[in-house]
Amino acid sequence: MSRDENNLWNRWRRNFLAGLAIAMPGIISIALVVWLFQKISDFTDWLLFFLPSHMTHADGGAGEIFWYWRCFALLLAVFLIGLIGRIARDYLGRKAIQWIDQALMSIPLLNKIYGTVKQVNQSFTNNKSAFQHVVLVPFPHSGSRTIGFVTGEQNHLGPEKLVSVFVPTTPNPTSGFLLLFPEHTLVKLDMSVAEGIKFVISLGAIAPGQAANAIAALVPLDGEQSPEI
């Protein structure tokens, strides 16, 4: 391969990597929105039970639901949730919700699931964020450190105060480990929760303040040569 062909290949590869870095966030965002819409629609489609299936589904009712009926079902779900919130503001509405809550809590097995989900929901809705701040913790052993998010303090689990820390997995921060550390073993970082999540998702490549420079580093200016990747 000649030197000119080699240079052409290197330039094309750099352009491709730069284009991929620019396009990937949009592609992932659109794919996530589409996936989320499909998952929510699978749950809200049953709200159209009062309509004949041959009207809402293709192939005379045997196929998939039409996309515009999916949108209608989603809007109907949003309306019903808002209606429940409006009813809950009245005295009779609050009493009805309390009665339903007590009825659900009296059903064996269901009460365990419902009670747990309700507590988790309250912990997230009563605060702006369930994560208080970002810390550095000794994990998975004392010789290493990783990023964690403080979720609360525990004063009733032993003689010393323990801090509950959520240590996320990477690059998927929705799963992880709930760990308890003595307060003196934590190092509080000058980093926002959003910056901490970006750090985890990027596999540690994007540190606080570097997000704006991440793409620029992959797009060389005219006359400059980007580093080999």
The whole-chain average pLDDT of the chain stands at 77
* Domain contains 13: no
* Domain contains 43: no
Q: Which residue range(s) make up the domain with 210? A: 134-216
* Domain contains 126: no
**Distance between CA 109 and CA 182 in Å, rounded?**
34
Q: How many domains does the chain have?
A: 1
Its pTM stands at 0.47
Of 117 and 12, the one with more pLDDT? 12
What's the pLDDT at 29? 83
Angle in degrees, CA 105, 110, 116, rounded to 5: 75
* Domain contains 150: yes
Q: Is the pLDDT of residue 2 over 60?
A: no
Q: Is the pLDDT of residue 76 over 80?
A: yes
* Domain contains 166: yes
Residue pLDDT, tens place only, 55-74: 888 887 778 888 888 888 88
What's the pLDDT at 104? 83
What's the pLDDT at 152? 82
Give the mean pLDDT of 170-178.
78
* Domain contains 100: no
